[in-house]
Amino acid sequence: MTAPLSGWFDDFSRNDLALVGGKNASLGEMRRHLLSLGIAVPDGFALTTAAYRLFLAHNHLDAVIARELQRLHDGAPLAEVGAAIRQAMVAGALPDALAADVRERYVQLGTRAGKADPPVAVRSSATAEDLPDASFAGQQESYLNVVGVQALLASVPRCFASLYTDRAIAYRQHHGIAHETVALSVGVQQMVRSDVGAAGVAFTLDTETGFRSLVMLTGAWGLGENVVKGVVNPDEWRVFKPLLADASLTPILDATTGLKQQKMVLSPAGSPMNVDTTPDERARRCLSDDEVLTIARWCVRIEAHYGCPMDVEWAKDGLDGALYIVQARPETVRSREQTGSVSTFTLEGTGPVLVRGVAVGSRIATGRAIALRSMAEADRFEDGAVLVAKQTDPDWVPVMKRASAVVTDSGGRTSHAAIVSRELGIAAIVGATGASDVLDGHQVTVSCAEGPMGTVYDGVLPYREDTLDLTAMPTTRTAIMLNVADPAMAMRWWRLPVRGIGLARIEFVIEHMAKAHPMALLHPERLSDDDRRAIATLTQGYASPAEFFVDRLAAGIAQIAASQWPEPVIVRFSDFKTNEYAGLLGGREFEPHEENPMIGFRGASRYYDERYREGFGLECRAIRRVREVIGLRNVVVMIPFCRTLDEADKVLAEMRGHGLVRGEAGLEVYVMAEIPSNVLLAREFGARFDGFSIGSNDLTQLTLGVDRDNALLASLFDERNPAVLRSIERLIADAHAVGCKVGICGQAPSDHPEFAEFLVRAGIDSISLNPDSVVPVLQRVAALEGSTKS
């Protein structure tokens, strides 16, 4: 049977790769199977690889291509060979049968669309692109807003010729793919007017950690090319997949507003061009929450249909506001990682900070920074150096492969530089404004191991790499849990064999994401002019400074809670000391000076006091948002440093006033056991709370009367002291007697094997550890309990 020269997208499926290439096969698959699920995919048709081969034969191009590729093999420059092939192909004429086929399909598309001469996007689709084990995308050309039969006919040879761009030739050479085995299909797709709307990319996993329960969206105003190429710093959203099915929830874990410095629009002549965005466009996100959730739900359905994590391109038509999926392909980096081990990088020094940007991955690299303005300067680059550029595109890949790290001025997590760096397994920082002006010639350390923001330090700093083997982990009666402060780190440890988070410290979130004292946000009239201006800048785009605090705190808590959902995540309310609170923006106006903040105005005593009650109210609002709006009801809240039963009652009453009621909607409330009164009155505290978490540092300090920060007394500070051990034994027994669970979140079980043994024998319910201690302590506890391998 003779292969057709063309067909509607609906005629094809993912089984037709050889006929219409990866891109068009995917479009056909989605239109055939996913339109009925409400996913909008623009209509169109494809010219098949049979049309491509007919074009080659009609113009005697096979011989031209073979001759030029032989010249390349003999040493001719790639740029010269590629240009010769493309020039010959562009000069070729379409066979009459093919030209007639294109005309007929285009007229029919206009009838289907209800518009004569419909604007179309003409895209290349290679037979070796968009495969689960290849990253071919972006090597061929696309032509946008093509209107009319003659313009469409003229674009087809140009698409065919793009199979021999320099980057495509080099890619096939590098991967050992015979050029003659690859053919090209052309997709003609109804144009989505994202030039007056917005466009972007979505992944159905976390691109930095491989965490499978997220949809990561990025987007910007205008055509999507700026997002893909990293020309702009886009808006970004993290959506939690397991809760998307509940229409009553808004499971957006976090949303950040990118600079979106430019947008790609169509010129009066109809060709793409970049223009600067307005201040309003830069301040606003390009999608509403409802639109984000719609795209995320579509992505989840696409992933379910394909059975693997997906890389999806979306577009919003600015004329009618409609959303579309314009492409989907298997994700080829994180989804292929081995899950039997986890590698971690730890920076062991510090130095002057040169630039910061968005961290890609979690690696650290060092080397001499070499800034290239274009690939014309590629001969300046040295193997193992740090590549610095304004942005990258596929032409840069040969240089990127020689780099120890990549740093770009612009771009987001789905930019070309980010995607290729992940694929190459190298450190990268994107969106580092000014990097190409600052870094050239410096010996630098590129660190992506310190959270979502990456840092380039001046000088070569020491660091270490550790690998945790996660194979054949044992099971234990005692729950092994995590201590977490940084939301980004929580995502990185999702593979660890733990049963939730035993201590989520929100101080890190407040300090690094909210940055300002909550009372300063509520009462800016009490601040200096400089602090008021700083807060106005910090909270720009929010309805109020208080809403900014709630949003940022909720985002941090939600990311931590999602990383272990549905396991319990115990979130401790803020436990800064007064001197630490004072260090927040605007904090000095609201904090007293104390000689010994360690045992001063901290923890529970603040929550009902007029000096902080309103600030505690914002913390409660953030918890409610995480549990009730986002839907992460695995969040357990915990009260720190609660000295008396009366204080416990007052704090619980404050929480009720803010809509957090123990027992309602499954809310559990724990209390830290870190003061002798918590031990002595464990049964009475247990009647008010659902569980205890032992803070061994403070409990040791207050039991022995030793200032834990006093170096002169360091030899006396020991959690293994018999007085401390007896207190813990008593607490566990009394708590269990009234039906309360008991865990511990200190460092002692990691540092002292005998202390872990003591806890297990005392019957503790959970041990919460720093991530690097999980595997050895889990193995130790399993041995103590006599567990068998799972």
Instruction: Indicate which residues carry an active-site annotation.
Output: 416, 745
The dihedral region occupied by 694, where left means phi > 0, alpha psi between -120 and 50, and beta the remainder, is beta
How many whole angstroms separate alpha carbon 161 and alpha carbon 91? 10
Question: How many helices (H) and strands (E) in the chain?
Answer: 29, 30
Residue 348: is it exposed, middle or buried by C-beta count within 10 angstroms (0-12/13-18/19+)? exposed
Rounded to whole angstroms, the Cα distance separating 666 from 145 reads 54
Distance CA 157, CA 632 (A): 53
Token pair 């049968």 is at which residue? 97
State how far the Cα of 412 lies from the Cα of 758, in Å rounded to an integer: 48
**φ, ψ of residue 16 in degrees (nearest 5):** -105, 35
Q: Where are the alpha helices (DSSP H) in 473-625?
A: 487-492, 507-509, 518-522, 529-538, 545-564, 578-582, 604-607, 613-624
* Helix (H/G/I), strand (E/B), else coil: 401: coil
Q: Give the DSSP letter of residue 626.
A: I
Query: Which structure tokens are listed for 455?
Result: 């840092």
Adjacent-strand bridge partners of 467: 343
Cα separation, 742 vs 735, whole angstroms: 7
Cβ–Cβ < 8 Å for 752, 466: no
**Residue 182 phi/psi, 5° resolution?**
-100, 130
95 preceded by a cis bond (ω within 30 of 0):
no
Q: Is 726 helix (H, G, I), strand (E, B) or coil?
A: helix
| 120, amino acid identity | V
Give the span between the Cα atoms of 500 and 745, in whole angstroms: 12
Which residues are 357's β-sheet partners? 454
Beta bridge partners of 16: none
| SS3 of residue 501 by DSSP | strand
State phi, psi for 715 to the nearest 5 degrees.
-70, -20
Structural element, H or E, at residue 325: strand 323-330
Return all residues near 458 (Cβ < 8 A) that are at least 6 apart. 351, 352, 353, 354, 442, 443, 444
Please enumerate in sequence order all residues whose Cβ is within 8 A of that of 174, keeping only pairs 6 or more positions apart, or say none.
none
Strand, coil or helix: 24 = helix
CB burial of 314-332 (b: ≥16 within 10 Å; e: otherwise) equals bbbbbeeeebbbbbbbbbb
- 423-437 burial: b if 16+ Cβ within 10 Å, else e: bbebbbbbbbbebbe
Tell me, what DSSP letter sits at residue 773? G
Amino acid 759 reads L
Q: Is the dihedral of CA 686, 689, 693, 697 positive or negative?
A: negative
The DSSP bridge pattern shows strands 443-447 and 142-146 to be unpaired
Question: Which residues have a Cβ under 8 Å from the Cβ of 333 and sit 6 or more positions away?
Answer: 135, 207, 419, 422, 423
Nearest to 224 by CA among 202, 199, 203, 201: 199
Collapse the DSSP code of 314 into the 3-class scheme (helix H, G, I; strand E, B; otherwise coil) and give the result: strand
Rg (CA), the chain: 30
